[in-house]
Structure 1
Amino acid sequence: MPQGLRVSKTFLLNRGDPSLNRSDLFFSQQNMNLLCRDESCSVYQMKNETGDGTATYYEVYPGIGVMYNDFHMECCPSRKFENNTHTFAIHHCREGRVEWEVSNGAYLYLASGDIMLDSSATENNHCSFPVSHYHGITVTISVPEAVEGLGDLLSLFSIDLEQIEQQFTLKTRPFIMHGNSVPDHVISELYQAPENIRLEYLRVKVLELLVTLKTVDPTVLGVERPYFYKTQVEKVKAIMSFMTNEPDRHFTMEELSEKFDISTSALKQCFKGVYGIAIYTYMRNYRMDLAASLLTQTDEPITMIAGKVGYTNTSKFSEAFKKIKGKTPLEYRKIKI
């Protein structure tokens, strides 16, 4: 989540105001409001002109929390925090995509199925959602508080939190691994917590996750993700906006490269890095989604809709639409009415 994902940066908060729950204080700093609370969890919401999102937060142990993140928005307010806490977090992206602004104006991307570990020692200032949605889990760990409150329990399972940080060299850069690993299996089970024993279940699974992290060889499971610099990312986003504003037109890579002053190779690599798919695949999907919307929300002739999404030949449009949506435009319109 935008700033909820950065709870690892500021999990230890000023407790001077006894009227404020510390999680309430943190989320209020992220422009998120408390929606509801019961004895085990709190639900916070953020809204702006690009959409909304919720974070469902469980404090499973002193200093250790689990957040379920559900966001349908593109961007959110950014807040820079002082790195005055010793924390790290484990993030899992189940659906969607997360853009992280890291140090020196560079960007890193978390894709569906990725697990990322990061520390308050590194500077992740801001994140957003390039495909306008994100669903995932964040486990936050305040090392001093967890050690103080759970020392005996951590020792029982031979869990050394500082050793985990060192193992993944979190004080230098975030660590990413993708699927098919023991930690991935454990994290997937966090989504299946039985409602009647959810808090107890999360406590067990968080310990299991920390134990299994010790078995990971970072040199084997680590995934090298390229960093993209701000100028590149801004140009790619401008290109996406330019193309989606004119879906009836088809642009070559060379035309886009010249217009936005970016090499074709950098354009291809950065666009896929930001949006997760190739530029032409993105536009094909966008055109078919737009056509589907027009088919169900207007009475416009299929020939006119085809023209609006860049097809002068209705037969070719029908063929392309069926390939993506599984039905011809006429069949789709009849079913959706």
Structure 2
Amino acid sequence: MMGEYIRRWAAEGAHAGEIQGPFSLEGITAWECDLSGCAPLEPASVQPAHVEALFCRAGQLRATLCKGQTVCAGPGELLLVSDAAELRRFSLEDGCFQGIFALMDKAASRDLPAQEPTLWAGDASPMDQVAGLLRSHNGCMAVREPVWGPSVLASLCQLPKERRGAYFLLKLWELLYLLCNRQPAAVAPCANGYYDHYQADAVRNVHDYMLAHFDQHMTVPELARRFQLSPTFLKSCFRRLYGAPVHTYLQQYRLQTAARLLRTTSDSVLHIAVAVGYTGTSQFDSAFKALYHMTPAQYRKWCRENNVQNR
């Protein structure tokens, strides 16, 4: 999927300045990439015996499976996809993605840390364990680690471009170890069951309304009343379809929009805060820093210093 896309894109040479790498470590190869403004991603399958990992620094990744399930990953989150996934669509929110893509080859890593019993339990190789975990999630899962993700995001912002890929590979091995060795309940898949297309369409209408009016105050009970849905159903179905609670999804969308405005305009921080639904800069600054690990002003300065203000 993304592996073939990145290689083809890099080979064309038209966007060479927007791909850093490759970086390699223990059977994993990574590229740092900025896919902002790129052509839509064609549906494709992950190569056999491979696992792909996409760490999001800015923007949002959305994978839609053939059964209608949608898995999303935003800043500080990781999307893991194996050849077991039946993908229908792979899209970038607002056509923007900045982050790191890693291609994991099970064959190349078969003789690595699995041979060290103090690191990996059982006889299976690390990638076999990861692939097994993904099969329990229909081949595709978003990883939202409250400590790991924000820590990696903050550290990447402080490293020069040529060092980010190697650092990410080290942290990715750490995450894979955590996912494969913690208590099973901690990585259990979402509850089984699917919503029919009428129910899913109703919640997609809520989603579209939210994004069209994201600068307005709204609550789950208000949205449920507007679309004649049960609040409990709305919350569960929304999370199933979009991979995050309603409030979290809306807040991340607002902050991602704010980040884009900080990169691409000279509007004041107050003007941008109001434009994305905040009444002032205090709450906006706190929410933005919690997601991006720097204030809006620091983020704008960092983008200008790294020449990403127009992406």
- Cα RMSD (Å): 5.4
Q: Pairwise mapping of residues 1-337 of structure 1 onto structure 2 (< 5 A)?
A: 4=2, 7=3, 10=4, 24-25=7-8, 34-36=14-16, 43=17, 54-60=18-24, 64-72=28-36, 77-82=40-45, 85-130=48-93, 133-144=96-107, 146-147=108-109, 160-170=125-135, 172-180=138-146, 191=156, 201=166, 205=170, 208-209=173-174, 212-213=177-178, 216-217=181-182, 219-222=184-187, 224=189, 231-232=201-202, 234-240=204-210, 243=213, 252-253=222-223, 256-257=226-227, 265-267=232-234, 274=242, 277-278=246-247, 320-321=279-280
Q: CA deviation at 1:66?
A: 1.0
Q: Deviations over 1:46-103 (max 9, x none)?
A: xxxxxxxx55341415963213244556x96242224552211233334443322023
| Number of residues of Structure 1 aligned to a counterpart in Structure 2 | 258
* Cα distance in structure 1, aligned partners of 2:180 and 2:211: 44
* Cα distance in structure 1, aligned partners of 2:169 and 2:224: 54
Which entry has the higher C-alpha Rg, 1 or 2? Answer: 1
Runs (5+) with no aligned partner, structure 2: 286-311
Runs (5+) with no aligned partner, structure 1: 12-22, 37-42, 44-53, 298-304, 310-316, 327-337
Q: Structure 1 residues 188 and 35, CA, compared in 2 at 3 Å: closer, same or farther?
A: same
Report SS of the residue matched to 1:320.
Answer: coil
Q: CA deviation at 1:253?
A: 3.0
Report SS of the residue matched to 1:240.
Answer: helix
Q: Structure 1 residues 99 and 157, CA, compared in 2 at 3 Å: closer, same or farther?
A: same
User: 2:290 corresponds to which residue?
Assistant: none
Q: CA deviation at 1:202?
A: 5.0
Q: If the length of structure 1 is used for normalisation, what is the TM-score?
A: 0.52
Q: Structure 1 residues 110 and 126, CA, compared in 2 at 3 Å: closer, same or farther?
A: same
Percent of pairs identical after alignment?
Answer: 14
* Cα distance in structure 2, aligned partners of 1:105 and 1:71: 25
Report SS of the residue matched to 1:93.
Answer: strand
Q: Is the 8 A contact 2:129 2:180 kept in 1?
A: no
* Cα distance in structure 2, aligned partners of 1:256 and 1:217: 42
Higher RCO (CA-CA < 8 Å; seq separation 6+): 2
* Cα distance in structure 2, aligned partners of 1:78 and 1:33: 18
For 2:279, the aligned partner's letter is A
